[in-house]
């Protein structure tokens, strides 16, 4: 039997970094996620650098950021451009590699190095990125076998919609429960002669917001938080105007917002319980004390902040994500990290999804490819108070000419909109909710951050946003017209009985 460490990567979908008790949220119930933080290291400046599902997950799989992947926006049908994926590299080194839940890769049944995949894709029909319709994912096929064929979306809530309704079928048929059940079964059915890499990829709290009633009850008497509004929302960039119009930020009622928050909170609490089942299964199998955990999300959600919903931008809610690394429990942690290592630390270095692949390889003792954007965080886990991974990270979303770009060191954050040159500057150390735009403050280091972004882009072969070392917007455009705004309203990908 192998003594090499097991690795369990647990991811949520569309979960903000502040929706955890360990991150200071006084209302949400996440005791098991908090346990992982108390037992490991939490990174409070973790970012999804292309914050939407497909590119974010491609970054987890490859250790490459959107620019290197050629993927800086949502693009169905995109195939990963490399065979050096996280499961392939671990598999080549002797690991058993399995995933349960959401992958959102193309072709959907391409394993990319996984020994097995059990898919739950939030209601997306397989083959959606091509002309070939290939049916339903493993969860919906299983649901049919249980006697509920075609009823996965009988709740009437669409993918990407911010309505909320309690789960309409028996509790054990919920996709979160299915992902937890099959993750636990995968642990129990593992090859005892090999170390295990398991990715438990939960679809929650990504809409449809359909939590179990028992988790909604937990928040029944609570007053939900309200979205925040910065002093800059009356001059939204064209990019933010489109986001605002598509997801109807101005027309949601107080009740709709309240229900959406309850849906998010209850869905995360349900995942939290599922995590405890995974921990318990590892314990009962006798391998918890030889298992590393990585917990994160592919991106967050604006959740109404600054009149914005959805993701795909660089305000805090959309791009800042939970990120926790927890070493094996008990004496094994001391043997790996030293007898004076103190769990429950918080590191402030800017990190991101690109760091997951090299970190997992370092944990496994596997050589790390040289051409990655990501860096191993194992050294930071060993010395969380002193080590800094990098000085700044660059976020990029959108097609050339219409991009939103961000640079941050975890203290300041600068956002620049390529289309018309609108910019935002936040001192996030003192203003974490990004309420006060400092771009008009003569005392703020605006020019320094413009130059930092320009320098990052200049390192590329040719980026049209930089001319002679200076940022140059595509053109100076007016606000969206009423007609343009009206045409952007989303239908949210509804599903019916099938």
Catalytic site positions: 53, 104
Distance of CA 463 to the CA centre of its chain: 27
Element (H, E) at 347: strand 345-347
Q: What is the DSSP string of 93-132?
A: TT-EEEEEE----BSTT--TT-SEEEE--TTPPTTTTSS-
Nearest-angstrom CA–CA distance, 158 and 124: 11
Angle at 41 between CA 44 and CA 415, to 5 degrees: 20
Nearest Cα neighbor of 119 from 21, 212, 193, 202 is 202
CB-CB contact of 141 with 151 (8 Å) = no
CB-CB contact of 77 with 124 (8 Å) = no
Buried b (16+ CB within 10 A) or exposed e, 83-110: ebbbbbbbbebebbbbbbbbbbbbebee
Nearest-angstrom CA–CA distance, 431 and 426: 7
Element (H, E) at 258: helix 254-284
Residue 210's contacts (CB-CB under 8 Å, 6 or more residues apart) are 155, 157, 164, 165, 166, 167, 168, 174, 263, 267
Structure tokens at 354: 């690109």
Structure tokens at 85: 């994926």
């Amino acid at each position: 039997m192998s003594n090499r460490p097991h690795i369990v990567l647990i991811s949520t979908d569309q979960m903000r970094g502040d929706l955890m008790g360990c991150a200071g949220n006084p209302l949400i119930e996440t005791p098991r996620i908090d346990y992982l933080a108390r037992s490991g290291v939490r990174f409070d400046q973790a970012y999804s650098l292309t914050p939407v599902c497909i590119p974010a997950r491609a970054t987890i799989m490859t250790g490459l950021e959107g620019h290197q992947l050629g993927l800086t926006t949502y693009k169905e049908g995109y195939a990963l451009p490399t065979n050096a994926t996280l499961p392939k590299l671990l598999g080549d080194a002797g690991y058993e590699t399995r995933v349960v839940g959401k992958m959102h890769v193309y072709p959907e049944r391409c394993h990319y190095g996984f020994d097995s995949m059990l898919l739950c894709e939030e209601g997306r029909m397989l083959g959606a990125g091509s002309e070939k319709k290939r049916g339903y994912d493993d969860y919906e096929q299983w649901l049919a076998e249980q006697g509920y064929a075609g009823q996965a979306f009988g709740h009437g809530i669409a993918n990407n919609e911010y309505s909320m309704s309690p789960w309409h079928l028996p509790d054990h048929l919920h996709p979160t429960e299915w992902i937890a059940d099959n993750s636990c079964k995968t642990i129990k059915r593992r090859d005892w002669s090999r170390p295990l890499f398991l990715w438990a990829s939960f679809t929650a709290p990504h809409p449809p917001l359909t939590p179990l009633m028992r988790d909604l009850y937990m928040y029944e008497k609570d007053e939900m938080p309200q979205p925040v509004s910065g002093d800059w929302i009356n001059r939204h960039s064209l990019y933010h105007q489109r986001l605002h119009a598509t997801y109807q930020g101005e027309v949601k009622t107080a009740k709709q917002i309240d229900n959406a928050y309850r849906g998010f909170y209850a869905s995360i609490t349900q995942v939290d319980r599922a995590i405890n089942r995974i921990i318990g299964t590892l314990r009962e199998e006798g391998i918890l004390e030889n298992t590393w955990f990585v917990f994160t999300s592919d991106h967050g959600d604006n959740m109404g902040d600054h009149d914005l919903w959805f993701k795909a931008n660089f305000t805090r809610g959309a791009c800042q994500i939970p990120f926790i690394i927890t070493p094996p429990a008990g004496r094994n942690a001391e043997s790996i990290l030293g007898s004076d290592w103190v769990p429950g630390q918080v590191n402030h270095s800017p990190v991101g999804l690109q760091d997951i692949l090299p970190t997992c390889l370092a944990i496994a003792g596997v050589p790390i490819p040289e051409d990655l954007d990501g860096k191993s965080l194992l050294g930071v886990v060993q010395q969380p108070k002193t080590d800094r991974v990098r000085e700044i990270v660059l976020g990029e979303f959108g097609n050339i000419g219409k991009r939103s770009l961000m640079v941050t060191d975890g203290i300041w954050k600068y956002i620049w909109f390529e289309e018309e040159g609108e910019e935002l500057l936040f001192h996030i150390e003192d203003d974490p909710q990004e309420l006060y735009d400092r771009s008009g403050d003569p005392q703020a280091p605006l020019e320094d951050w413009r130059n930092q972004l320009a320098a990052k882009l200049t390192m590329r072969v040719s980026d049209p946003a930089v001319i002679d070392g200076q940022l140059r917007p595509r053109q100076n455009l007016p606000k969206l017209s009423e007609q343009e705004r009206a045409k952007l309203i989303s239908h949210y990908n509804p599903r019916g009985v099938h």
